[in-house]
Amino acid sequence: MDNFFLDYKSFLSGIGASWSAIMVGQPLDIIKVRMQNTGNSTISTVLALVRYEGILAFWKASLPIVAGSTITSSVSLGTNENTKRFFRDPKNPEKSLKIWQHSICGTASGFVRAFVICPFEHVVVKMQTQGKIDTRGDPKYKNSADCFKYIFNNYGVKGLYRGLKVSFFRDTFGNTIFFGAYQGIAKKIFGGDHIDAHQLKMWQCMICGGTAGVIYWIGIFWLDIIKSKIQADSLTNPRYSSGKECWKMTVKEMGYAGMTRGLIPALLRAFPANAAYIAGFEMMMKILGRDK
């Protein structure tokens, strides 16, 4: 019975984590996506957003982000927590897991996350970049719902899942890094090998989560660029037929420095957004009673 409620609590707590992260990280996320697709600098991107689209542009396409993040964070964190049960010692369920075990739990959560988040991210990227890059014949969408409907009606489920392969590699690799780093920092800096991160004080959890978020983005940023460019690409007349081709063309046009476009706002976003993400999750788990 306890395991049943743990399942329920971890999935529900993921919702709190997603809302916390969105409030903090959304403005820097749109800056990152614009830079990845236009090649402009951080400052010029910010100034253009404010001047031509207004301050609310920093929260453009928030509806699919809220919807997608709520679902994916719930699934990702719920899967991560539930996978831990495979490593728990039935004779000593309170015994902390090793870092490699936490990393494998992260791998499982990333595998599931990729399949859930891909269509939401596709719509978000389309909305964040439309009119700012060469659409090569694509229509201008009225809103996120119109974008979703157009893609589904004309290209089906396959169209919505454009970029899935890259999303899969990004999320499985990235979540392995994130959850391994989160627990590793908690053990090596704050609590020792005998504890898991949730046993720390909240400010310590936030430091661990924020730092793990920075490490995550350093590790997966090149994959995120490829995913973003593929999803921003035209559906009617695409430039890229694969992730490999996207990589080659980006390097040819911008050099290897092009694979770091948007890294600064991503890293600036990473610490506060992931600190809030972890805080939202751990607070919800405490409220719902994991530590009772």
Measured between alpha carbons, how far is 179 from 113 in angstroms, rounded to an integer?
A: 14
Measured between alpha carbons, how far is 251 from 244 in angstroms, rounded to an integer?
A: 11
Task: Determine contact, residues 228/125, Cβ cutoff 8 Å.
Answer: yes
Write down the pLDDT at residue 226: 92
Task: Determine contact, residues 22/63, Cβ cutoff 8 Å.
Answer: no
Label residue 39 exposed, middle or buried (CB < 10 Å: 0-12, 13-18, 19+). middle
Which tokens hold the place of 18? 């997603």
Please state which of the ranges 95-109, 179-193, 255-269 shows the lowest mean pLDDT: 255-269
Residue that is written with structure tokens 């005998």 in the block: 194
CA 76, distance to chain mean position in Å, is 10
Residue 44 is part of a domain; what is its CATH number?
A: 1.50.40.10
Report whether pLDDT(231) > 90.
yes
Write down the pLDDT at residue 61: 59
Report whether pLDDT(2) > 50.
no
Write down the pLDDT at residue 3: 46
Among 32-46, 52-66, 210-224, the range with the most confident prediction by mean pLDDT is 210-224
Q: Please, which residues have CB within 8 angstroms of residue 23's CB and are 6 or more apart in sequence?
A: 276
Count the domains in the chain: 1
pLDDT of 192-203, one tens digit each? 888 899 899 999
Phi, psi dihedral angles at 217 (to 5 degrees): -70, -35
pLDDT of 14-24, one tens digit each? 877 877 777 77
Q: How many CB atoms lie within 10 A of CB 149?
A: 13
Which tokens hold the place of 11? 């999935």
Report whether pLDDT(30) > 80.
no
Residue 182: domain span: 2-288
Q: How confident is the model at residue 136 (pLDDT cuts 50, 70, 90)?
A: low
* Higher-pLDDT residue of 241, 290: 241
Report whether pLDDT(152) > 90.
yes
